Amino acid sequence: MNATRCKVRLVSISGGYYGTDNGRSVEFRVVDGSSEENKRFFKSTPSGEFKLGLSAEASQALGLDVGKIGSEFYVDFTPVQN
């Protein structure tokens, strides 16, 4: 099974996505060519972004808070085998 790894940067966090559980809406964009590793990722994925709605528990488990804006993360895509 093939997988693809992307590298993204956290660009924004909004609160209250799930109403009463204090969830978060988070937005990521692919990294630019600001480091040698990022240049390799940028060559394959020069543009892209995605937003997720996370429960408060999931957001906390990933350490996502406003202080983490600008932090980089790996995202792995693996095809589902049917």
* pLDDT in the model for residue 71: 93
Using one digit for the tens of pLDDT, what is the confidence trace for 3-61?
A: 888 999 999 988 765 555 677 889 999 998 889 999 888 888 888 999 988 888 888 88
What DSSP line would sit under 35-82, residue for residue?
SHHHHHHHHH-SS-EEEEEE-HHHHHHTT-SGGGTT-EEEEEE-PPP-
* pLDDT in the model for residue 17: 56
* pLDDT in the model for residue 74: 93
Extents of the domains making up the chain? 4-77
How far is residue 50's CA from residue 57's CA, in Å, rounded to a whole number? 20
